[in-house]
Structure formats: C-alpha cells, structure tokens
Amino acid sequence: MYQWKRIVINGLPLLFVCLLVEVLVGQLLFLKEEALLSQLPLFLISIPVINGVSGNMGSILGAHLASGLHVGSVKISLKDQIMHETVITSIIMGIITYAFLSIGIYLIGLFNGLTMNVTLFSFVTTFLSIGVLLIGLVSVVSVVTAFISFKKGIDPDDVVAPVVTTIGDSFGILILFLFIGV
C-alpha cells in the first residue's frame, strides 16, 4: 500500500543532508569558478553534463535494483548474477555516453569560438577518466544504498536517487578539480 507519510518520514532527513552537501559543494565550485572560467572554460561548461550523466546512470541502476529486490529477482548478495549484469550494463552505458558527450562538448566549444586551452585528445581523455571514476563510484553507492535500505525495510526507490545524485554531483566536481590540478 502506498503510504506518503512513510515516504516523507524516511526521505525528509535524507533530503536535508543531501541539501547541505549540495550547498557546500556549490560553494566550493563558486570559489573556484573564476579560475576555471579563465583557464579552462570548456571544463566549466562540462560540469552539468558530468553530474547529470552520473546521477542519471546511478538512478537508473538504483531503480533496476529496487525493482529486482521488490519482485525477488535480485538477492541482497554481492554474488547475485542479475545485480552484476545490471551494474556492468550501467557502467558500459555511462562510458559510451561520456565518450560521445566529450566529443560533442569539445566540438560545440570549438564552433562557438570558445578559447581552447586543451586538445581534443586531452579533453576527451580527462572527461572520460572523470566519467569512468564517477560511474564506478555511483554504481557502488547505488548498490550499497539499495541493499541497505531494502534490508532495513525502507523502499530503495525513496533513498537511492537522492543519495546517488548527491554523491554524483559532489564527487563529479571534486574529481574534476582533482584532474585539473593534476
């Protein structure tokens, strides 16, 4: 039975924590924005894409796992074959998506006269590396969050998406700063 009160009670504290994390990471981005804008504007415009893809892939993975847990086709086990296949598919889709988007972003920047302080190869390599790390992290977080919430009697559909998008947004920016620093 659908109980909106239970969803609010389970979700509100989590959403509040996610909000605080997002605000803190947003402030970090704000502090580094000028340096990014002047030195590597192509990476600055890539942040929404980096965060969006990882959040979407993690949420899709979480939804598949939640559905599998609800119907019993996925077991709470790191050895579960369906879980492995779902995670691998999610990672492959993320890598393909990041590869195409990196080339597209570079070309859009080039055709719009954006100052290019980076070669296509360097940009695609960096963008793809960030994406692979982020998709791997988000996949692990998605599986762990789905399993723990289901085991505790909380619907994973109410928990996975906010946690995964917060982790994806936060670590997407942090990993980008790490790669730019290197």
Q: Which of 143, 127, 128 is nearest to 92 (CA)?
A: 128
Q: What pLDDT, on the 0 to 100 scale, is given for residue 38?
A: 64
For 22-72, give the secondary structure using H, E and C. HHHHHHHHHHHHHHHHHHCHHHHHHHHHHHHHHHHHHHHHHHHHHHHHHHC
CA distance 77 to 143: 10
Cβ within 8 Å of residue 175, ≥6 positions away: 130, 133, 134
3-class secondary structure, 108: helix
* CATH match of 4-181 with 3.40.718.10: no
pTM of the model: 0.84
Q: Domain map of the chain by residue range?
A: 4-181
CA distance 135 to 98: 10
Q: Which of 101, 120, 90, 89 is nearest to 49 (CA)?
A: 101
From first to last of its 182 residues, what are the pLDDT tens digits of the chain? 567 777 777 777 877 887 888 888 888 777 777 766 666 778 878 888 888 898 889 989 999 999 999 899 999 888 899 999 999 999 999 999 999 999 999 999 889 887 677 889 999 998 999 999 999 999 999 999 999 999 998 888 888 888 898 888 888 888 888 887 75
